[in-house]
Amino acid sequence: MDSSDLNKEPSIIVGGLVLGGVMIGAGMFSLPTIMAGAWFLNSSVILFSVCFFMFLSGTYILECISRYGEGANYSHISKKLLPAWLFYLSNASLIFVLYILIYAYISAAGSVIHEAAAIYGLKSNINYVFILFTLILGSIVWYGGNLSSRVTSLFLLFKIILFTLAFSGLFLKADIRLLLNPGKGNEQVSLLPYTFIIIPYAITSFGFHGNVCSLYKLYNQNPKKVIRSCVLGCVLALCLYLLWMIGTMGNLPRQEFLPIIAAGGNLNSFIDALYSVLSSPYIQSFLLWFSISAVFCSFLGVSIGLFDYILAALKLPENKKGKTKSALLCFLPPLLLCLLFPNGFLIAISYAGTAACIWAVISPAVMVLNSRRLPEKTKFTAFGGNFFVFLVIAFGITGIVCQTLAQLGLLPVYR
């Protein structure tokens, strides 16, 4: 690839695919299980609502960045626009979420690559897989935003194609009556209490905010291109989630999710249930490569955000030495944690929803309120005025309350 091509400003399609890649990951397999209690219609309303509010909070980050220019990142603008206590809490939440996701993706990549090697008759040491995966994809992030964004968009395209090949049969067999009628005595109103548990999980499914600063730099401080990329990424994620829900809930009756939930909602139980509906000699291969593409794509998307955050927060020079320091700080802690606890992320990930509500929802809204009180105008102003800002804050608080009640066992859960 010619170096001039790598330095050329990418199209909004690339930016949208990067954000879509961050949002759409292997975690989508858990969505139908989480949403089984509320079922299709109620869950669709929650998905649309969460997508809208998360998009709004992303535009608030962009508005704040446009005030301070290309060198600004989340750490910089939050330090300028948040009270000290919220600044530290917000940035700690951001770092926690990004690190825990990188840890999760290294762990997932190791297991899926190890499984692929076994299927093709190859022996592999999972610890070596962890290290090799991190080195290869970490090197892509280290090289620069243009290369990593293009590789991410390529993996996302593979993921969409493989998703279509693996599950198109589910869409063709989907029963619309099953989607609209979950079963006897289960009217939509009676399912409403189960919608609250979806909110914190759905928030993590639309978490692209760590990459807004990177896109602003990538598009040479052009907020219109960043906004279009955000719209494209959110719509892509929303459409794929809805298709996934149609393909699963349109084939599996609500009660058939109970054994999956009883088994902890793990991927194997869910896929076994799908095999009973649609069996094909090619399904295993398509599903395997879809999982690999999903993990690779999500890893790159999240890593770009954390890598740039560390680079800017520590004011490291963007040369080989500075980027190497940033890469070590970005990838070494989650890699070491993965080597020590290869399957331990499930406990930590349950708190990611609360952390995302703080740094990706409430904090951007507070920042934009404080930014609009300053006399100087910004290059870009998010739509909706302050009324929507307060709605976003209320939404973030709702997410925290729901997650807390869920952890305490005080929310109704379908099981």
Task: Please write the tens of the pLDDT for every residue from 190-222.
Answer: 788 888 888 888 888 888 887 888 888 888 888
SS (H, E, C) 189-234: HHHHHHHCCHHHHHHHHCCCHHHHHHHHHHCCCCHHHHHHHHHHHH
Instruction: Determine the pLDDT at residue 3.
Output: 45
**What does the alpha-carbon distance between residue 345 and residue 343 come to, in Å, rounded to a whole number?**
6
pLDDT in tens, 380-397: 888 888 999 999 999 999
| Residue 2 clears pLDDT 50, i.e. is over it | no
**Element counts in the chain: helices (H) and strands (E):** 20, 0
**What does the alpha-carbon distance between residue 42 and residue 414 come to, in Å, rounded to a whole number?**
14
Longest dimension (CA), the chain: 66
pLDDT in tens, 231-265: 999 999 999 899 888 888 888 888 888 877 775 55
Stretch 353-357: mean pLDDT, rounded? 85
**What does the alpha-carbon distance between residue 330 and residue 337 come to, in Å, rounded to a whole number?**
12
pLDDT in tens, 328-351: 999 999 999 888 887 665 556 667
pTM value is 0.80
CA terminus-to-terminus distance, the chain: 52
**What does the alpha-carbon distance between residue 220 and residue 90 come to, in Å, rounded to a whole number?**
26
Residues 6+ apart with CB under 8 A from 140: 147, 148, 151, 300
At residue 120, what are phi and psi to the nearest 5 degrees? -90, 15
The pLDDT confidence band at residue 8, using thresholds 50, 70 and 90, is: low
CA 67 to chain centre: 26
Residues 6+ apart with CB under 8 A from 28: 205, 240, 241, 244, 294
For residue 79, count CB atoms less than 10 angstroms from its CB and return exposed for 0-12, middle for 13-18, buried for 19 or more.
middle
Q: Which DSSP state fits 100?
A: H
**Mean pLDDT for all residues in the chain:** 81
**What does the alpha-carbon distance between residue 43 and residue 51 come to, in Å, rounded to a whole number?**
12
Stretch 150-160: mean pLDDT, rounded? 77
The pLDDT confidence band at residue 370, using thresholds 50, 70 and 90, is: very high
For residue 292, count CB atoms less than 10 angstroms from its CB and return exposed for 0-12, middle for 13-18, buried for 19 or more.
buried
The pLDDT confidence band at residue 1, using thresholds 50, 70 and 90, is: very low
Structure tokens given for 215: 């896109």
